[in-house]
Each structure stands twice: as C-alpha cells, then as structure tokens.
Amino acid sequence: MPLKAELHCHIEGAAAPELVISQARKYGKDTSPYIKDGAFVWHDFTSFLVAYDFASDLFRTEEDYARLADHYLTSLARDGAIYSEVFTSPDHAKKAGLSPKAYTDALGEGMARAKAKTGIEGRMIVTGVRHVGVESIEQAARFAARCGHPLVTGFGVAGDERIGDFEDYVRAFEIAREAGLGITIHAGELMGWESVKAALDHIRPSRIGHGVRAIENPDLVRRIADEGVVLECCPGSNIALKVFDSFADHPFPALLAAGCKVTLSSDDPPYFWTSLKREYDIATEHFGIKDKALVAITRTAIEAAFVDRKTKAALLARLNGAGR
Ligand SMILES: Nc1ncnc2[nH]cnc12
Ligand SMILES: [Zn+2]
C-alpha cells in the first residue's frame, strides 16, 4: 500500500454517517431526510450543502469536535496516510454555539489523540465560506492570523463558487499572508477556467482547491505548470458532483502529463462515497497510475504542505525510507 498524504478535506464533511447518527441520537434529531441506508442523501451541490450543514450542526461541544478529528485522522492513518490537512470552518462552529478558539482547540486535541495512536501528522486550514459572505471570510482570516494555534498553518476559501468575486477576498488573503499562513482557494470546480485564472490573478495562492477545470484552457494549464501551482484534485468528488461525466473524462492524467503538480484528496469523503484510499485506487484503476507514480503524488503533496521545514523533512524521509 503506497503511503499517502491529504491536503483537501473539510473536517465537517468527513463525518461518517454512523458518527452523524450517533450525534443525532445525542441531540434528539431525526436524520431520516439526510441519511438513508447508511448513506447521505443529496442530488446536486445545493442539496449537498443542505445535508452537510444539517450534519455539521450535530457537532456542538468541544468533545464532539475532538471525537470527529480523532475519528477521521485515525481512519486515514489506517489507510496509509502519514499527513493530513483539514479545512476548518469557524462559521459552522459559531452556528453550533462554540467560539472559533474553543472549536480549533478541540479539533487540535482530536488530532493530537490520533497522532498519539498512529503517528499521523495533522494541520488545519481555517476557511471562510463564500456563500456566507465577505465579512465572515475576513473574520475567519483575522481569527486564523491571530489564533496562534500551532496546528493552524493555512487559510482558504470554500463554499459555493457560483457566488461572489475573487477580488472581494483579496483583503482576507492579505491578512492571512501577512501572518505567514499558507494560501489555498477553491476554484475551477463548479465554475470554469476563468475562475481558476481569476484566483491566480487576484489571490496568488500556492495551491488551488480542485482547479481541474483549468483543462478548458491550454494556456492556463501551461501557466499552472510553469508557476508550479499545486492542484488539490478530488476526482471522486468531481464525479459525484457531476463536474465531469465519468472518470474517463476526468483531466487528472492530462494535467499530470502537462507537468502540473497534482495531488489526491477526498474532499467530503462519505458524501461522495469515497475515502483517501479510494482516491488512490481511482488513480490506479481509471488513470493507469502505478505505485511508484502514486508515491510521487504523495511527495508532491508533502512538498506543498503547509507545515514547518523540520516536519516536512521528517515526512519526506519517512516516504523515501518506505520505498527502499
Ligand atoms: N466540494 C466543495 N466545494 C466547495 N465548498 C465545499 N465545502 C465543502 N465541500 C465543498
Ligand atoms: Zn473542497
């Protein structure tokens, strides 16, 4: 089994249906409109967000969040992951009645528990949500910049890409950049290549969440390869959300062949019937990528990780040692 690293997973979106059902029992909520036969129910991006917000609202206390992070990172480690970055969402925490600090500390506690059991290294990327609005995105950036949590190493923007303009987020990303945080932004998932170009022009991220619809413009693909921008690709998510019709139509192999730095992640795994392990299996089965090339993809992810130099060197040494 190749060693793995994940750069793109929303922690609320990683809650398995069984965990969500157990949380619903705790808070006396009915999951039947959103979970059927052990799987989340949705039919498009908008209804996905509704199910996602329903499940997120069932995580309310510090222990709930610690359990969620521990559960997810422990399952990742079991699947061969040595590194995990998760997107955190102060907006979801606030809705559940927790301060961003209590929420972040709790997730950090869950990550520490998973690390103690399995050795998996974890970091957090604080995110703002586009469809919540610019002000909340700037608030999230200010929190990320000042929180001082040692595992908060990045800032990003997720949410409904059909809403808002990239120019509107420049100030939030300046706050994050000035604080020394790594920068990533979702683009080129629900919207086309123009969105990826706007993200590069206005935000100048080192990584893009998805970015796969850059494939619609060969000049942009060349720019991504030349500038070494890393794409956080989530093929299982893209097929589930019908960004592409089938794996045969997915641009991952073309982007790789064009010299783009591509990585593999699960996005919101149980919603998209996937896992990090399945994403690596998809790469083998549908894109013809063999074990050695999968290890190179893990290396790309670790090299692009928002993690201190010493930890990065230790992760790379672990990866290189496993290949011998
Ligand atoms: N796939 C996705 N795209 C944008 N925002 C998200 N938030 C959670 N999952 C997301
Ligand atoms: Zn995402």
Reported as a single tens digit per residue, the pLDDT across 168-184 is 999 999 999 999 999 99
pLDDT in tens, 45-95: 999 999 999 999 999 999 999 999 999 999 999 999 999 999 999 999 998
Binding residue per annotation — 92?
no
Q: Is 267 annotated as a binding residue?
A: yes
Contact status, residue 83 vs residue 314, Cβ threshold 8 Å: no
The whole-chain average pLDDT of the chain stands at 97
Residue 290 CB burial class (10 angstroms; 0-12, 13-18, ≥19)? exposed
Q: Residue 186, annotated ligand binder?
A: yes
Looking at ligand 1, which residue's alpha carbon is closest to its atom 6? Answer: 159
pLDDT (0 to 100) of residue 323 = 57
Predicted confidence band of residue 258 (pLDDT cuts 50, 70, 90): very high
Residue identifier of the C-alpha nearest atom 1 of ligand 1: 267
64 is in an annotated binding site: no
Q: Are 123 and 109 in contact (CB under 8 A)?
A: no
Question: Is residue 324 pLDDT above 80, yes or no?
Answer: no
Residue 283 has pLDDT above 70, yes or no: yes
| CA–CA distance, 10 with 67 (Å, rounded to integer) | 15
Model pLDDT, residue 238: 98
35 C-alpha to center of ligand 1: Å? Answer: 19
What digits encode the pLDDT tens for the residues 136-172? 999 999 999 999 999 999 999 999 999 999 999 999 9
Q: Helix and strand tally (H, E) in the chain?
A: 14, 10
- Say which ligand is closest to the CA of 157: 1
Residues with Cβ within 6 A of ligand 1?
10, 13, 158-159, 186, 189, 237, 267-268
- Domain at 4-322: CATH architecture: Alpha-Beta Barrel (3.20)
Domain ranges across the chain: 4-322
pLDDT value of residue 34: 97
Measured in angstroms, how far is the CA atom of residue 313 from the centroid of ligand 1? 30
Q: Is 189 a catalytic residue?
A: yes
Q: Which ligand is nearest to the CA of 159?
A: 1
List b or e across 10-26, with b for residues whose CB sees 16 or more CB atoms inside 10 angstroms: bbbbbbbbebbbebbee
Average of per-residue pLDDT across 257-284: 98
Residue with tokens 């957090």: 124
Note the pLDDT of residue 90: 96
DSSP-derived 3-state class of residue 233: strand
- Selected catalytic residue, list 85, 161, 189, 232: 189
Distance 158 CA to ligand 1 centre (A): 6
Confidence band of 206 (pLDDT split at 50, 70, 90) = very high
> If you average pLDDT over residues 34-49, what whole number do you get?
96
Task: Point out the ligand nearest to the CA of residue 130.
Answer: 1
CA of 143 to the centre of ligand 1 (A): 21
Q: Is the pLDDT reported for residue 96 higher than 90?
A: no
Interval 188-212 mean pLDDT? 98
Is a pLDDT exceeding 60 seen at residue 232?
yes
Give pLDDT, residue 322: 78
